[in-house]
Structure 1
């Protein structure tokens, strides 16, 4: 009876071992996703106006009126600010007075010249004396013309006391207030023309080759879900910023989507999507299966859950990781236990696998 029980126990044990041996190998994997494909070719940017003008007065003075706020839409010809014109009026009056004085000196010089021209014709004075009066007249005429030009400048300055918008757009910033004394040329506000919007991104110096003038890129907007438009690289800064070491790149948007506004966050994809991961993906060193000089990885077939080797190239980027090139979007790569697998072997995917 005891021998029978032992035989039954042995048979049962053998059956269990046979069942465990047929169970698929448990593996840890990582999937190549579309995000990994274009991760290095996508940059965050901001919607800007192509023409952003720092507006200033052409004459200095104290601001007495400010007619706009940040975010206001203005039209060409609108008065944005004005300064106290009293000093400018006095300068204009001073110019007119200088013209009158110069005109009196010119009239006197002309009268003297006419008189001495008659005396010279009668041979009453020598030519040297006539030349002196001719020179005096020419000098008076030049001073008169100078005074007239100065007066014209003063009259023009009267029109500069009102800051007039040169184009339609949006006020993006205001840097001066009523009562503040500003100088000629000092920026008091910024006007952004909204008739032509574009996207500005910053490219690290080691990825500058991702963009080139005239290149077509794809633009999406965080606030406009599902909206994607094409853009064209219009301008690349010739010099990197000293702090960030990035290059400013301006991208024109020929057909802006509805709802696109200044300041929106945009995502610019500078590399075309394709089925091959040309940028590569980072894998742990444990994922590399190499025989001789041929690096490979095990790829899991989604339909049959079997593994097969795929040739790749790689560049070492760390002590425990490599960047792998040659994989396709959607490939499921085994990242651990690769030396225990064989061609066509059925596997089970471990929970918590990483998806790129």
Structure 2
């Protein structure tokens, strides 16, 4: 029995010595040698792009035209034809004023014209008669049939009677009638533009004054957003330039607008330059007063090699990127240009078409074995 226990004990010692002699690390290394070691990465090809810096501004939407309607003459509102929201055409009647008092002015002006005309015609006739009488008296005086005193009296009558003053009175009366007729027309207040009634400040029966607007008409076929930019931005903009407009109240989709106005001088108070971006709005979905974001592209770089900004890392004080060649990461020093925060311009170091590591670049070294798990393999 003792011999069996001793044999078992010696066998156990031998097994333990074998295990210590081989070591657990080597076994693991054997296993690791079987399993492939690599770093998973995502890549994107370097491409030729047009990139730019994007600056966001905010502003309110304005109607292309906003016209306040003032009656030319004060008067009592007789009728309101166009209410808030009514689409109107140019020269269509918006509201009317009471005509009674104005009609009386027209009638009185006509009477004044008739009276002045009659006086004018009578004066003309008198002058013609005086001239005819003078010619006759002159002939008789030359024949010695009338005295010199009669001749001079006839001459004075022909020359002293002037029609100018009477004619001026007649013309003044005609002008008064014209003005009265214009006032009669002005009792029908018309729209000066095509548009939509946005504000009505009058009611039937109340007095409308030419000192405050009775209505407001807006043209919404085009709308604009006005923003103010600094001196380092204004020269990067030009008329007709397309810009991205975002109006959250409508949708998350971007709208394309165009720069229509650029202020040539800065505001004296703010030292900012005014820029107006116009947007087509035929369906009137965009309403004046809505909040808008304007995205302007500045520092534009056209047809340059560009990669994702995140692909560029620092190594030994240099800017580098890792590209994939034969399933290995290859470190390349690069010279960068404009960095938009999304894409960066590559001036030197890599060329179009190279597979740049954009995910996993912080976990590789030059020569590391990599496996492309996303992107161009």
Does the Cα contact within 8 Å between 2:201 and 2:213 map onto a contact in 1?
no
Partner of 1:192: 219
The one-character-per-residue Cα deviations of 1:233-257 (angstroms, maximum 9, x if unpaired) are 444344556669352324465xx78
Aligned to 2:54: 40
Which residue in 2 is equivalent to 1:117?
131
Superposition map of 1:311-330 within 5 A: 311-313=334-336, 325-326=345-346
Instruction: For residue 147 of structure 1, report the CA deviation from its aligned partner.
Output: 1.8
Q: Which residue of 1 aligns with 2:10?
A: none
Secondary structure of the residue aligned to 1:40 is strand
Q: Which has the larger radius of gyration?
A: 2
> Matches of residues 1-356 of structure 1 in structure 2 within 5 Å?
8=23, 11=26, 24=39, 40=54, 50-103=64-117, 105-107=119-121, 109-121=123-135, 122=137, 123-125=151-153, 130-134=158-162, 137-171=163-197, 173-178=198-203, 179=206, 181-183=208-210, 186=213, 188-192=215-219, 194=221, 197=222, 199-200=224-225, 202=227, 204-205=229-230, 206-215=232-241, 223=250, 233-239=259-265, 245-251=272-278, 253=280, 259=283, 261-263=285-287, 287-289=313-315, 296-299=319-322, 306=329, 308-309=331-332, 311-313=334-336, 325-326=345-346, 342-345=365-368
Any gaps of 5 or more consecutive residues in structure 2?
1-12, 138-150, 373-377
- Give secondary structure in 1 for the equivalent of 2:72: coil
Instruction: Report which of the two has the higher share of strand.
Output: 2
Note the C-alpha offset of 1:155.
0.5
Q: Where does residue 143 of structure 2 map in the other structure?
A: none
Q: Tell me by how many angstroms 1:191 deviates.
A: 3.4
Counterpart CA distance in 2 for 1:305 and 1:201 is: 53
Q: Distance in 2 between matches of 1:303 and 1:274?
A: 31
TM-score, normalised by the number of residues in structure 2: 0.59
More displaced 10-residue stretch of structure 1: 67-76 or 110-119: 110-119
Q: 2:287, 2:210 → 1: CA distance?
A: 30
Q: CA deviation at 1:175?
A: 4.9
Gaps of 5+ in 1: 27-31, 350-356
Q: Partners of 2:96 and 2:356 in 1: how far apart?
A: 66
Distance 1:58 1:331, change over 3 A: farther
Structure 1 vs Structure 2 CA RMSD: 5.6
* 1:209 Cα offset (Å): 3.7
Q: What do residues 22-79 of structure 1 show as CA deviations (whole Å, max 9, x unaligned)?
A: 67499xxxxx9xxx95661676787766554443323233434333333222345532
Residues 236 and 250 in structure 1, CA contact (< 8 A), matched pair in contact too: no
Whether the aligned pair in 2 keeps the contact of 1:99 and 1:148 (CA below 8 Å) is yes
Cα distance in 1 for partners of 2:74, 2:286 equals 31
CA distance in 1: counterparts of 2:30 and 2:334, whole angstroms:
39
1:213/1:236 contact within 8 Å kept: yes
Q: Match of 2:161, SS?
A: helix
How many Å apart are 1:144 and its aligned residue?
1.3
CA contact (8 A) 2:266 2:274 kept: yes
Contact 1:76–1:167 (CA under 8 A) maintained in structure 2: yes
1:273/1:42 CA distance change after superposition, 3 Å: farther
Separation in structure 1 between the aligned mates of residue 247 and residue 328 of structure 2, nearest angstrom: 38
Higher mean alpha-carbon deviation, 84-93 vs 39-48, is at 39-48
Partner of 1:354: none
